[in-house]
Structures are given as C-alpha cells and as structure tokens.
Structure 1
Amino acid sequence: MIIGTAGHIDHGKTALVGALTGVDTDRLKEEKARGISIDLGFAYLPTPAGTLGFIDVPGHEKFIHTMLAGASGIDFALLIVAADDGVMPQTREHLALLDLLGVSRGLVALTKADLADEARLAEVTSEIAALLAGTSLRGAPILPVSAHTGEGVDALRARLVEAAGAFAARPGQGRFRLAVDRSFSLSGAGTVVTGTVLSGRVRVGDPLVLSPTGLPARLRSIHAQNHKAEEGRAGDRCALNLAGEAISPDAIRRGDMVLDPTLDAPTERIDATLTVLASEPKPLGQWFPVRFHHGASEVGARLVPLSADSLAPGTSGLVQVVLERPIAAAVGDRYVIRDTSAQRSIGGGRLIDLRAPARRRRTPERLAQLDALAETDPDTAVAGLLAVEPWHLDLTAFARDRALGAEAPAEIAARRGLVAFAAGGTLTALSPQRWALYADTALAELARFHEANPDLPGMGAEKLRLALAPRLARPVFGEALRRLGAAGSLVLEGAWVRLPGHEVRLTRKDELLWELVAPHLGRTARFRPPRVRDLAALTGEAEGEVRRLMKLLARMGKVDEVAHDHFFLRPSLAETVAMAMALAEAAPGREFTASAFRDRIEAGDHAVGRKVAIQILEFLDRHGVTLRRGDLRRLNRHRLDLFGAMDDTGAGGDSTAGPAPGADTTSGRALPPVRYPDFKSGRGREPVSGGFDSHSLPPSPAPQRPNPPR
C-alpha cells in the first residue's frame, strides 16, 4: 500500500514519516539547510501486512505541483495537522486536491500533540472533523501523535498496518503503466526511473516505451517496494533500470510514462469531467487558461466548457482540455487544474475521452457519446457507445485508451454478443441489431442499383460503402462484405458487388460477335490488342457494332479501354499490374520508370513498344493503381485488386482471408488518416477514383503484430 502525506508546511510531515520508518526523507542539501521539504521523499516500512511505501510531499504553497506529482499515485492519505497551528491554508488546499484526485481512504495525524493541552486537542479535532465532512475523507480517524516524544506513533503505525491488511490490491489486469516522478543515473547500472505502477505488470526483459517521446527501452532490473524483484505490479512503488539507444536521465522528465508499447498513443486534446472548487472567484469560460496536472506531469492548457457556456464555482460539468504539448494518459485518470500563476487550485476531474474532436464538440450526438464514455465499466460504456452515432466502435482503440489487456476487445465482444470485424489492425464492433439493419440496407441499396442499372454487372464497392450508415472504414467494410458474401446474401466480383440473382447477359447476336472478336485479344496479342477498326476488318463486322460491343463488355468488367478504341482483356491488365508489382519490389525506393516497365513486359517475348507501355501506365494512373512523380511511378497497394491483382500480403480482392476476431492486431502509436501524395501539387489527397466510378474492395489484411513506436 502506498501512503502519501499531505498538509501545511512545518506541520511535521517529514518528522512523522521518520518516526514511523526510521528514514529521513529530506535527501537534498538545500532541504537540510532550510529545514523544509522541497522535493518528494520516499521511505518504506516492512510490516506483517506487507511493505508500506511512504511518499512525503512538500507543504509549501510554491511546491503544490510537486505535491500533486506525489499524490497522484497513492492508495492512502496521511493528512498532517499540527495541534498548535490547527487547520492552515495548505491543509485546506491539500485536502481539496486529495478529494479531486479521488483519494477516499486515509486518516489524520494530529502532530505536535505534546505542545497542546487536552482542550486545544479537542478544539482542533473538532475543527478537522468539520473540514473533512464535505470531502472523500469524511469520518477519517484523527490520532494525536508527537514525533518528538513518540506519543501515539506506535498506535498510528498499528492503524496503518491494519489499513494495509484490509487494503485490496489494485487489479493486475490491464497493460503496464508507470508514472515517472524521478530519473537519475547509477554507476554500474545506468538510467533508473522511479514511480508508482498505475496498472498491469512488468517483468525483467520486457520491451517498454517512454511516452510521449516514444523512446523504446528494455527493462534490465526492478526494485519493487525497495526490494530487488523480477516483477512489478499495479500499486507497487518501483525503480526500473532501463536500457536503450536513446535512454538517459536527460531524455526522461518527471511526468513521462513508462508503458507497454501498445499503449503509446499520446494525446493533446481530451474530454473530461470537471468539478470547480467553490473557492474559485469567477466562472470558467471558453478557452480559460490553466495549468493541467496529471500523474506527475504539468502542462499548460485551455478549457472549453461543453455542457454549458461556462462553469460556475462549486459546479460540475464536461469540458474539453486542449494541451500545449502531448501527454500519455488513460481514460479514468484523475487530474487537477490550477491557475496560470500557480497561486490557487481551481478544480479537477476524470478523463473520459483521449481522442476528442476539435469541431462539433457540443452537438447532441457528441454529448450522447460523452455520456456513454463517462461510464467507468468498459462493458457498459461499449453498450452505450454502440447505441448512439456513429453506431460502431473500434474496440482495439477503446481498450488501448483504457489500458485494458490485449485480450479485452475480443472478450468484450463475446460478453456483449457483438458483431465484430478484425480488419485494418483493429477489432471493430456493431450491436447485433445495428448489423442486421446495416445488412438489410446494403441489400436494399443493391436492389435499387440493379433496377436503375440493369446493364451493369454490379455496384462499385466504394459507392456502396458511401451510401450506407454507419460509414465503416474501407478495411472493415471489406470484411463486412465478405461476411455477407459467405452467407450468400451478395456476390463479390473484383470491384463489383451484386445480388446473387443479378446477372448481365449478352444477346445471342452479341455472343456470336464476341466469339469472333475474343481470339484476337487473346494470348499472343493480349498486351498489344488490335484497335476497334482493326477488329472490324479482321472479323468482317461493322466498326460501329464492334465498338458498341466493346463498350458493353467494358461496363460488364470483361474488358477495359486502356486508350481510345484500344481494349484489353481484364486478365491481361491483371498481368500488367502483377508485373508492375514485381518491378516495384526490386526497384530502389519501390519506384520505377516507364522504360523499365516496357522492358519487364518485353522480357516475356511481348513486343509492346514504349507507346503502348505509356498507355497502360497512364490508364493505371487514372485508376489510382500507380502514382506518378515526374518520370517515376510507384504502386498504391490499396488499389491493387482493382483488376484482380494481389497485394504483397497475398490477399486478393475476392479473398475471404483475414485475422480472426479477437486476434491481437493492436497498433502502437496513434495513426493519422491514410493520405496519398499528390505528386503534382506536393499535397496529400485521398486516393483517386477511377474507371467504374468506384474504388476496389480492400484486400483482406494479414494478421498483424503490435507495431513498434514510430
């Protein structure tokens, strides 16, 4: 159990910890010279109930930020009030901060009891009880003690041991997080960081990440509760000996987090609950500037009230916190805000969403989401989120932001009976009712499309995705279509989606004409097929009739018009894309020239010439399969299945492969939206739309491992 002191300066916090443990927590020369605590001090007391860890905090008003760094990870508060002085300003402020941090277990040590008579002790005890009445420590025991004479110290120690025996250790589930409050170097060991383990567990040799910097590290050794250990668990006070290329005491500062690598997703915009202290003189309005204290970190921030235009003193509500720099945090963490001059505490609350939007943050839909996100039970929060827009949820990101275990997404989906799709490195879920509605809407949309376009083989997958609500991400939508396809509800054919009963057929006349034309586009001429006028001459048919047939076949997806009146069979184009893939794999930077592409085709005894190679490449450019920059091109792997090619995972457009629901596909740092370079303008843009006014169905992703921080 971790015990944190609190109270006014010179009320005997350090002396009392020394009397309880035999350790002087003032370790700095300046502290000993001035006789006051300046930085955090640490002591340990072995007991039958386990080792008690003490964090001794400064009491001076100028060191409130240091007090908060120590108090953020404690299990039990030891509020110190001197009998001669009674309740003082920092007594009140420290108690308010403990209340805001949610510390509900503790007791009060009435120190310097040898300097007060019975009447004074009774008076101060009554004053303290009244002060505690409106806080999370209401009803806490008040014990008179004297570090000078030893009066009451043994009784206080016994009460702490009793509290430790009744203390339920923090759950060991979840992923590892430790809030750094000190970093230093030890001769022969290297860099050491200390802090309280907030969640999970860690073992010697585990890979870790320093966040928000993203520096990778390896754990060389552990001291837990002042003893060498092989494992550190939630609630332990730990010293971690870290190794890594960029790891040094100078690279780590108080407030950083040591994390399981999959949790490294810093944030600088957070939605949270906020309780404003009644002592605040004015309401908090839009973009109110504050100092934001979370864990051991302190950063400048601005507040945007969400549930009202402003928050009055003594009230609670929702706010968005916009930070000056990113921090590592988890949903459910407590925080405190102080004024920018560091003279007073303003309020505090709990983090509820680490990925807050910059716009539309006060709409009814967003406020409904925040109501669900405010639930502390993960299952209840998921159920609430799936019942409001946008009706689906990335369970992988949800579990990451709450520091839940790697298995949590699949377990939540199973417990709630959700419909889940493992795609794009995430597990995305919908409620069964929403999935049934989504599937019915998709089939109805296909039916309408077939009725309006009977001569087309199907609807473009991307066009269908954009027509449905919720609008799923492309990889997730691809998995949803494959699931509907496996159930026989629809049919996937490359970039097309159709109902099982829909089929486009040629008339008998067109079938006969196609039998004449097809051989001239086949094996020997597949990369240099005759133009329409030449096909007409070869078959003896009218040029207009041949052109009409080829246009119809293009709409059906059997051929593609690479250049004017120049039609390739779809399998032939798939071959050219496969050749481009092989060329890109072998080329420096995965970029290739038109001449290299021509040589690659001609290597198979196919004389095509530069003109035809350029026509093929320009056609692929228009469809977004290749991306051009000057004389160089590279492949867009998101479009490789447009003409039946396969991407580098080996999964084609019609594949039903993909990670099983619940597979560990967690990524590390938060990923930005995918954007592709516009080589002409130098700006990012969305993938181009080409061909059939649709995008291809995304290929099934291969199962992924957690990515290292980028």
Structure 2
Amino acid sequence: MIVATAGHVDHGKTSLIKHITGVDTDRLEEEKRRGLSISLGYAYLPHVTGLPVGFIDVPGHHRFINTMIAGVGGIDLALLVVAADDGVMPQTREHLDVIRILGVKRIIPIISKIDRVGEERLRAVESSVGELLHDLRWQQEDPFRVNSQNGLGVDSLRAHLLNCAAQCDTRDATGVFRLSMDRVFRVKGAGLVVTGTVTSGSISTGDEVLVQPGAASLRVRGLRVHDKNAMSATAGQRCALNLSGKGEVARGGWLLGPGAAPLSMCLDVRLQLLGTLRFSLKHLTPVKLYLGSQRVAGRLARYTRETSSLALNAGDDVIAHLLLDEPVPAFTGQRYLLRDASEETLLGGGIILDPQGFYRGKPGAHRLAYLEAMAEPTPDAALRRLLEHDQVIDLARFQRAWNMSQETAALPGINAGRAFDADGKSWLTSRAKWSATEQALVSFVSGWHRERPHEKGIRPGLLQRTMAPAHGIPLVLGVLSACLKNGTLGLVGGCIMQPGFIPHIEEEADNQWRRVKECLSTSGAAIPLLSDIADRTGMKLQDVRKATQIAVKLGRAFQVSKRRCALPPQLLEFAKDIIQLDRADAEITVAVAKQQWGTGRNLTIEILEYFDDIRFTQRRDNTRVVLDRSLPARLYNA
C-alpha cells in the first residue's frame, strides 16, 4: 500500500511520518534548516506480510504544488493533515482537489498539534474537515488526533494503517510496464538511479526499458522495492532502479516496457473543471498538463457538436482535446491534472479516453460514441459498449490504448462480436454490423447487375470506394473477402459479380455489335477506325462507340486506341508475328512490323503501343523487346 500526505504547509506532515516510521523524510540541509519540505520524501513501515507500507511526504507550501502533484500519482490512501490551531487552509483544499481528481478513493483525516488547543476547538476543526470531505463526496473516516511533539495518538494511527494495508487490494500487474520518474540521481559506484511508483505491469533485473521522452534504451542492473533489494517490482510498488546505458534521463520522464503505445501530442480526454473555478476557459486556452510527474504545455479545445459557445465554465464535465507542445506516453483510463499556463490555478482534470486522439474541428456522433465507450472502467466493458454502438475496432490499436501487453490481451468481449482480418490488421465489429454490411454489399452488386446487365460486374476498387463512406474500408474488405470465400459473391475476370450471373445486352445493342463485328472480321489486318466502321455500316458513330464499349467490357473486343478496337483473333495474329520476329532475333521496329503486317504506319504504331501497354512488349529506344511470349495466348483465349 502506498500512502501520501496532504495538507497545508507547517501542519506537521513530515513530523507525522517520522513518528509513524522513524524516518525523517526531509533529506536536504535547507529543509532541515527552514523546517519546510521542498522535495518529496519517502519512508517505509514494515508489515507482517513482508511488503512494507510506503509513505510519500509531499511539500505543503503552494510554491511546491508541482512537487506535491508529482508525488501523489498512483497512491492508495491519503493522510489529510490539518493543524488544530489553523484548521482548514487554502492548501488543504488544493491538495484535496488534486487527490480527488487523481482518483484517490480513501482519505484518513488527521488533526495535528492537538496540544495547542482545547476540546471545543478540536471538535470544531474535526467538524469542518468532515463537512469538507462530505462536500467532496469522500467516504467519512473517523479523524485521528495526534500530538506532533510527543507522538501521542500515533500508535493507534499506525495500527490502523497496517490494518488498511492488510485489506488493500492487490494491483493488477498485467499490462505494459510504466513508471513515472519522480527522482533521478547518481550513486557513486552504482551510477544512474531513478525512483517512482510502478503505474502498470512489472519489471525485473536484466529487462530493457525505454526512456521517454528521448527513446533511450537502458537496462535494469538492480532493483530496490520499498527500500529493500529485489529481483522484480510490480504495479503499485515504490521502487528504485539502477540503470545502465546511454541517453538523457530526467525527472518527469517515463520508463516504458516493450509494446507501449507511441507518444502522442493530441489527447482526447474527459475533463471535469473544478466547481470553485472563478473564470471561464476560452476555446484553445493555454494550459499545463500534469501526467504522472511530467508537465507539458498545451492548449485546451472543447470537443462538442454545439457551435453556439465553446467556452468552458466552472463545474463543466465534457469531452475535450488537449493539443500538446511535446509528445507524451499516455494510455486510456490514465488520470491527469490541468493547471493554467502560469501554474497558479488548478483547473481540473479527469481521465484520458484516447491517447492517440486527433483534432479536426466538429466531431461526428460516431466519434463521440467511441470516446464515451472508452470512458468505461475496464477494457472489456469498453469493448462491449463499442460493439453495442456498431463500431469497427482496430484490436491492436485498442489494446495499445489500454496499455495491454500481448501476453495479457485476452478480452472475453471479443466473443460477443465478429472478428476478421483486413488490410494486414485484426478487427472486430458487432454481428449486426457485419450482417448489415454483408446485405448492403450483396444488394449493391445485385443493383449493379440490374443497371448494367452488359457488364461482367464491378471492379473491387470501385466497390470499396463506393461502400466505404457508410461502412469503412476495413469492414468492406473483410466482408467482401468472406463473401468471396463462402461463394455469396464471385470474382471473374477481375470483377465482382453474383454467382451464375451471365452478362447480356439488349437485342438492339446486340444487333449493332454484330454489324460492327462483321465489319472488323472482313477487314483482316487493316483494322478500320471507328468512324470508318460507321461509314461502312451506315450506323451513327455514337452507336458504334457504344457497341464497342459494351463488347470491350464483355471481353469480345479490345480497345487498341481511342479511335480503334480489334477482335481477339486479329490481335493474336499480330502478336504471333512479333513472337516470330523475336525468335529470329530480328529487330522489332515500326518499319519492320509495318512490312510484316502490311499495315499503314499509324495503325502499326497504335498496335505496337497497345502491346507495350499490356506489357507484352517494351519499347527500348526505337526497337521493341518481348516481355511475355505466353501473354497473347492467355489474353486472347487461344
């Protein structure tokens, strides 16, 4: 169990910890000389379980509120120390706001310096503290009275804390290792040492860790947990790590295990402003973000569909953006604090919803539903709610957001949805969403056949682009792949079609194509222009073009150029001559091909360029080389 002090300056927090543990947490000479804590102090109380109770003593002076914030992240319990002679003071309230926003669920009120006042005053102070905690919706705890001079009342408090430690829930040690560094120093003969409370996961000697910011890779040479040598440390434990390797390491940074989500400069968050805030916050107002012991400047943007007012007021509970000046390693469910840019006023805080957020102005209902689902207390609950809203979930991104390691990424809620692979990733959606997309896809292909009966089907790329706005590319790809696999749809000649569909054209169009085909068939190697076909058949040029377009889509003809098309047997004969020249090692030039085919120069060039386009040949300077001798036979069905 990790316990932190809270309360106004000079209310006896350090003295209380010394009486409980026997350790003076004021390490600095200046602290001892002034009687004022200016840095975090640490002490440990042995416990029968073998795991001592860890204490973090925070400074009470308002000038050191940043240090206080760095120390109370990840604690299990807070000791609210209020001096009997002073009573509740401004820093008492600010410290309470900090630990409430950071999610500390249990507070034990301590009335110190009881030797300085009478019983009536003691009761009045206890009453005011009780009312304050009640107003902030904390469960009421009986206050402990202690004498800061002689330690009167400390024995019963110590026994109560040891009992609390025995009942304290064990932290979930799964997930990627994270530790926010609240102290960084060097020890002669050992080297670099960092300390902090393990936020998640576990770490062992010999493991590699990544320092962020900076991305330096360091190795854990040694560990101390709760001031004792250890081989490993897990979530909820105070530890000191002796690290080896090169790279910049500073207080406020993070140590991360492998598999942590990438850094981000945009966080989507749930934000609750303090009800005591005396001013409004404009859209994109500058703020300071406190994440663990890290501080980062940024801007606060309201995340809303309402355009009438973007200002935020005291007590508002909203979804918002944090646009940061520096990248941070964050995860869903992580708690944070916001102060104003000058770091004079605590604004509020909340939890991170999407550590890889994005800011693109007014969000849609779909995005808001996603963020509201990510506010659930557990990843499995969030997953189930996302499925209820028919979201398409990138599972790897979801697991990284929740800081889940690959070894512990099991989510029972997956079984409630339809999992599929698409675009090289694993996805999940609701069974209802999958079924609706499948019906829409099949219906669209069916409609395509009705509107274009002469076409074999629709190209996959066009189908995906058409369906993507309503269903998203990953889901369309997944459903299409499943439909092709189970035979609901077919892929023939590069087109998606319904099984058994046979393209057909209207009788008039079919008659027009027969006239065009006859003209082409009787022309031999002298393939006529489309305009010449119109003159010879007496057809309108637009009818000739329409008939040839349909024939090309059905594979009955091939478009040689914008002004000519040819029948497969004609093109096959041209190709055979080219292959014959290639086998004879003859130069394949325009002049040689023209002589071989007995065609005009323009037609010769058009056919050669067409062969280049289909990758049968390739032009090199003024000659051609054959790339694939078998292509014409395959393409023209010979």
Specify if TM > 0.5: yes
1:276 aligned onto 2:273: yes
Say whether the 8 Å CA contact 2:321–2:359 is kept in structure 1. no
1:396 aligns with 2:389: no
Q: State the 1:401 CA deviation.
A: 0.9
Amino acid at match of 1:331: T
2:118 equivalent in structure 1: 117
After superposition, the C-alpha distances for 1:342-386 in whole angstroms (9 at most, x for unaligned) are 222122222222233322435444433333232223333233334
Q: Distance in 2 between matches of 1:76 and 1:186?
A: 31
Residue 434 of structure 2 corresponds to 435
Match of 1:289 among 261, 286, 290: 286
Q: 1:27 to 1:606 in 2, by over 3 A?
A: farther
Letter in 2 for 1:263: A
**Is the aligned partner of 1:132 residue 2:133?**
yes
Letter in 2 for 1:57: V
Distance in 1 between the 2:125 and 2:252 partners?
36
1:343–1:475 Cα change, 3 Å: closer
Deviation readout 1:309-350 (Å, 9 max, x if unpaired): 333323433322222222111111222222222222122222
Alpha-carbon contact 2:5-2:56 (below 8 Å) kept: yes
Please report how far the alpha carbon of residue 119 of structure 1 lies from its aligned counterpart in structure 2 after TM superposition: 3.2
Equivalent residue number for residue 657 of structure 1: none
For 1:192 and 1:165, the matched residues in 2 are separated by 30
Partners of 2:613 and 2:361 lie apart in 1 by: 40
Q: Distance in 2 between matches of 1:541 and 1:126?
A: 103
Query: Structure 1: 5+ residue runs without aligned partners?
Result: 515-532, 570-601, 622-643, 645-710
CA gap of 1:264–1:381, structure 2 versus 1, over 3 A, is closer
The residue number in structure 2 matching 1:170 is 171
- Aligned counterparts, 1:342-361, within 5 A: 342-361=343-362
Aligned partner of residue 492 in structure 1, secondary structure: strand
> In the alignment, what sits opposite 1:421?
420
Residue 343 to residue 400, structure 1, CA distance change in 2 (3 Å): same
- The residue identity in structure 2 corresponding to 1:385 is L
Query: Aligned ranges for residues 31-430 of structure 1 at < 5 Å?
Result: 31-49=31-49, 50-244=51-245, 247-248=246-247, 251-306=248-303, 309=309, 310-388=311-389, 391-406=391-406, 411-416=411-416, 418-430=417-429
> After superposition, where does 1:666-685 map in structure 2 within 5 Å?
none
Q: Deviations over 1:2-30 (max 9, x none)?
A: 11111111112122212222222222333
2:175 counterpart SS class: coil
Amino acid at match of 1:64: I
Instruction: Tell me which residue corresponds to 1:17.
Output: 17
TM-score by length of 1: 0.70
The whole-number CA distance in structure 2 between the counterparts of 1:277 and 1:291 is 15
Task: Label 1:234 to 1:361 Cα distance change in 2 as closer, same or farther (>3 A).
Answer: farther
Contact 2:392–2:475 (8 Å) recurs in 1: no
Q: Deviations over 1:167-217 (max 9, x none)?
A: 001112322222222223334444332211112223333343233443334
> Contact 1:263–1:403 at 8 Å: present in 2 too?
yes
* Residue 439 of structure 1: how far off its partner (Å): 0.6
SS at match of 2:382: helix
Give the partner amino acid of 1:330.
Answer: F
The structural deviation recorded for 1:562 is 8.8
For 2:215 and 2:175, the matched residues in 1 are separated by: 20
- 3-state SS of 1:74 partner: coil
In the TM superposition, what is the alpha-carbon distance from 1:464 to its structure 2 partner?
A: 0.9
- Check whether the contact 1:267–1:326 (CA below 8 A) recurs between aligned residues: yes
Local SS of the residue matching 2:330: coil
Write the distance in 2 (CA, Å) between the matches of 1:408 and 1:476: 26
Distance 1:204 1:470, change over 3 A: farther
Q: CA deviation at 1:607?
A: 7.7
Whole-angstrom CA distance in 2 between matches of 1:47 and 1:535: 102
- Shift in alpha-carbon separation, 1:488–1:277, aligned structure 2, 3 A: same
Instruction: Give the Cα separation in 2 of the matches to 1:459 and 1:443.
Output: 12
* Matched residue count: 566
Q: Which amino acid aligns with 1:340?
A: A
**Aligned residue for 1:446?**
445
Equivalent position amino acid for 1:446 in 2? V
Q: CA deviation at 1:225?
A: 2.1
Q: One-letter code of the match for 1:256?
A: G
| CA distance, structure 2, for counterparts of residue 392 and residue 203 of structure 1 | 37
Please state whether the residue corresponding to 1:323 is helix, strand or coil: strand
Partners of 2:458 and 2:219 lie apart in 1 by: 51
Report the Cα offset of residue 469 of structure 1.
5.0
Percent of aligned pairs sharing the same letter: 35
* SS of residue in 2 equivalent to 1:447: helix
- With CA pairs under 8 Å and 6+ residues apart, which has the higher RCO, 1 or 2? 1
Q: Structure 2: which amino acid aligns with 1:421?
A: F
Query: For residues 328 and 613 of structure 2, what CA distance do their matches in structure 1 show?
Result: 46
Deviations 1:102-138 (A, max 9, x none): 2111312222233333333223222221221112434
SS at match of 1:468: helix
Distance, in Å, in 1 between the alignment partners of 2:189 and 2:612 is 62
TM-score under structure 2 normalisation?
0.78
Q: Could you tell me whether the CA contact under 8 Å between 1:183 and 1:192 is conserved in 2?
A: yes
Question: Contact (CA 8 Å) 1:273, 1:319: kept in 2 or not?
Answer: yes
Bigger CA drift: 102-111 or 161-170? 102-111
Cα separation, 2, equivalents of 1:501 and 1:606: 47
> What one-letter code is carried by the residue in structure 1 that aligns with 2:298?
A
Paired residue type of 1:325? E
1:133 is paired with a residue of what secondary structure?
A: helix
The CA distance in 1 between the partners of 2:232 and 2:523, in whole Å, is: 79
What is the alpha-carbon distance in structure 1 between the residues aligned to residue 556 and residue 28 of structure 2?
Answer: 80
CA 1:362 to 1:563, structure 2 compared with 1: closer, same or farther past 3 Å? closer
Distance 1:254 1:171, change over 3 A: same
Q: Which amino acid in the other structure matches residue 253 of structure 2?
A: D
User: How many Å separate the matches in 1 of 2:215 and 2:385?
Assistant: 32
Indicate whether 1:489 and 2:515 are aligned: no
Q: Could you tell me whether the CA contact under 8 Å between 1:395 and 1:409 is conserved in 2? A: no
> 1:239 aligns to what SS in structure 2?
strand
Return the alpha-carbon distance in structure 2 between the equivalents of residues 442 and 206 of structure 1.
49
Match of 1:456 in 2: 455
Give the partner amino acid of 1:449. Answer: W
Check 1:209–1:119 CA distance in 2 against 1; reply closer, same or farther (3 A cut).
same
For the 8 Å contact 1:194–1:237, the answer to whether it is kept is yes
Q: Distance in 2 between matches of 1:330 and 1:541?
A: 67
Q: Give, in angstroms, the shift of residue 289 of structure 1.
A: 2.5
Distance 1:61 1:552, change over 3 A: same
Q: Do 2:373 and 2:385's aligned partners in 1 also have CA atoms closer than 8 Å?
A: yes
**C-alpha deviations, 1:141-168, integer Å up to 9, x for none?**
3111234312122211111101100100
Letter in 1 for 2:252: G
Question: Which amino acid is the alignment partner of residue 163 of structure 1?
Answer: C
Question: What is the alpha-carbon distance in structure 2 between the residues aligned to residue 51 and residue 64 of structure 1?
Answer: 27
Query: Is residue 480 of structure 1 aligned with residue 479 of structure 2?
Result: yes
Residues 552 and 267 from structure 1, CA distance in 2 versus in 1: closer, same or farther, beyond 3 angstroms? same
| Equivalent residues of 1:536, 1:543 under 8 A apart | no
- CA offset at residue 619 of structure 1? 5.0
Contact 2:434–2:479 (CA under 8 A) maintained in structure 1: no
Structure 2 gaps of 5+ residues are 534-543, 569-581, 591-604, 616-630, 632-638
Larger Rg: 2
Deviation at 1:52, TM superposition (A): 0.9
Give the alignment of 1:611-650 within 5 angstroms.
619=613
Q: Secondary structure at the match of 1:26?
A: coil
Deviates more, 1:134-143 or 1:554-563: 554-563
CA contact (8 A) 1:422 1:476 kept: no
Q: Is the 8 A contact 2:176 2:403 kept in 1?
A: yes
Distance in 2 of aligned mates of 1:428 and 1:489: 21
The alpha carbon displacement at 1:293 in A equals 1.4
Q: 1: distance between equivalents of 2:567 and 2:41?
A: 77
CA-to-aligned-CA distance 1:649-671 (integer Å, 9 cap, x gap): xxxxxxxxxxxxxxxxxxxxxxx
In structure 2, relative to structure 1, the CA distance for the partners of 1:455 and 1:193 (3 Å cut) is: farther
Deviation at residue 556 of structure 1 after TM alignment:
5.3
